[in-house]
Chains A and B, each alone.
Chain A
Amino acid sequence: MISVKNLKKSFGDLEVLRDINVEIEEKEVVVVIGPSGSGKSTFIRCLNRIEDITGGHVYIEGTDISQRKVNINKVRTDVGMVFQQFNLFPHKTVMENIMLSPMVVRKWKKKDAEEKALSLLRKVGLEDKAGVYPESLSGGQKQRVAIARALCMEPKVMLFDEPTSALDPEMVGEVLEVMKQLANEGMTMIVVTHEMGFAREVGDRVLFMDGGYIVEEAKPEDIFNNPKEERTKAFLSKVL
């Protein structure tokens, strides 16, 4: 479903991603962990080209999005993304946030978008917040709305870029719960996170990144119980 080949990314002279290779299957939940500065956020942001790709290839369902002439907007309709800072549109209500893109990009009728948005709000447990502006929501609620907004485009894969890192501890659970539910429904997911519990419980595979490389990849139980690489061991000993 997603295939990354020799992906490189530099910011000026700074090489952030050096040589990333990975295959991600449909319905797989891949969790990316690693120390800060390891390139994991940059990596996930290259998967929908929010970050320009310096070298190598990223295939989304066979389309090589590293090619400039690719209609990236079309590809992005199938790739949902959830950000650390939520990035809800402050001038729009919760409902309008969710309905905007389906109506503008997918050209849905208002009624259809409304129906879908409401059902998604129900799913993330925020039906009663439909008419309010994001400002009045807690961090956890904002992130759940952001998830609903991404889901309303009916994406084939969801990217989560540290979705709980900006949350107060007591709100992390409600967001992880929604993500867990999504994983159980068979959504293909790539999750950059520091939540090792989530990685262990929900992940099908864990990628450990450091210094712009994927240093180790394995099933959660293997990587957490028997890390093979020294750097993985060192990192896990600090966070577990």
Chain B
Amino acid sequence: MDFRWEIISEYLPFFMRGLGYTILASLIGFLVGALIGLVIGMGKSLSNPILRLPFIWYVNIFRGTPLLVQIFLIHFAVMPIFIKPPEPLISLIVALALNSAAYIAEIFRAGINSIDKGQREAAYSLGMNHAQVLRHVVLPQAFKRMIPPLGNEFIVLVKDSSLGAVIAAPELFYWGRVAVGAYSRVWEPYLAVAVLYFVVCLVLSYVQSFLERKYATDDQRKKPKKVVRRSRGAAGH
């Protein structure tokens, strides 16, 4: 079988542009999803069961239906209410944001709940209010534990953004399909697209494990702030 490299080289500029949109859509989707997720996560932790209900069902619905179906509903049913004609890239970003919000909400909630209750009690006993306890005691500790699942969520989102091709959002996989259509060749365009996704996700997973190591071992590795330690160096000789 011959492998026609020229197809890839011809379409590479389009692939790169598509990749740009893929990253853009995933990043905006993730950031907006994180904001919505924060609200949903806090909503799910409300003590009033009736107020809590809509947040619980938001998560149930967005986790319980396929992203592809959500994209179709958003693009063809919801977005036309606001934009005529609907813009595929915007529809994709909205779908990614709403979908990831459900997962991120759970990540936030689990992260916050994983902090020992004694930490909160100690902070309250020192006179701090809810916001101060959250800001100075709970969130800094919870954030560390949220890094690995948040990293996973972002990587999943980058790959899932390829579903945007079905509504003609000009992301990476869309351009792969265009190239396939133009040459009636499947190997070259799809492999090229796969490699590009792979490289991005590989880089992201390295970034993730770097952050993880940086924060997870922060407390142990950080040199004691000023004072002491000197004596220990001398003992080593």
Contacts and interface: CB of A to CB of B under 8 A. Distances in A.
User: Do A and B interact?
Assistant: yes
Contact of A87 (B118, B141, B224): B118
B125 interface: yes
A118 to B, nearest CB: 10
A149 B116 CA distance: 19
Interface string B122-149: 1111111100100011001100100000
A91 B141 contact: yes
A90 B129 contact: no
Interface in A144-158: 146, 149-150, 153
Contacts of A91: 140-141, 144, 218-219
A85 B220 contact: no
A54 interface: no
A185 to B, nearest CB: 20
A87 B126 contact: no
A132 B227 CA distance: 9
B225 A83 contact: no
Given A87-B119, A87-B121, A105 B228 contact: no
Given A130-B227, A130-B228, A104 B128 contact: yes
Interface residues of B, number: 28
A50 B127 contact: no
Interface string A72-110: 011011011101010111110101000011001110000
B237 interface: no
Given A83-B121, A87-B119, A87-B121, A128 B126 contact: no
Contact of B125 (A81, A89, A106): A81
B141 A128 contact: no
Most chain B beta-carbon contacts within 10 A, residue among A91, A130, A150:
A91
Interface string A126-147: 0011111101000000000010
Contacts of A81: 122, 125
B84 interface: no
A104 B227 contact: no
Given A81-B125, A83-B118, A129 B219 contact: no
Contacts of B222: 133
Interface residues of A, number: 34
Given A104-B132, A132-B228, A90 B125 contact: no
Nearest to A85: B118
Q: In terms of DSSP, what is the predominant structure of the interface of chain B?
A: helix
B228 A128 contact: yes
Given A93-B225, A132-B228, A73 B128 contact: yes
Contacts of A87: 116, 118-119, 121-122
Contacts of A48: 125
B122 A105 contact: no
Interface string B214-237: 000011101011111100000000
Contacts of B226: 130-131
Contact of B225 (A77, A80, A95, A153): A95
30 contacts: A50-B121, A50-B124, A73-B124, A76-B125, A76-B127, A77-B126, A83-B121, A87-B119, A89-B119, A90-B219, A91-B140, A91-B144, A91-B218, A91-B219, A93-B225, A100-B126, A101-B123, A104-B136, A105-B127, A105-B132, A106-B127, A128-B228, A129-B228, A130-B226, A130-B227, A131-B227, A133-B219, A135-B219, A150-B126, A153-B126
Given A76-B125, A81-B122, A89-B141, 19 more contacts: A50-B121, A73-B127, A83-B118, A87-B121, A88-B122, A89-B122, A90-B219, A91-B144, A93-B224, A100-B126, A101-B126, A101-B128, A104-B128, A106-B127, A128-B227, A130-B228, A132-B228, A133-B222, A150-B125
Interface of B: 116, 118-119, 121-129, 132, 136-137, 140-141, 144, 218-220, 222, 224-229
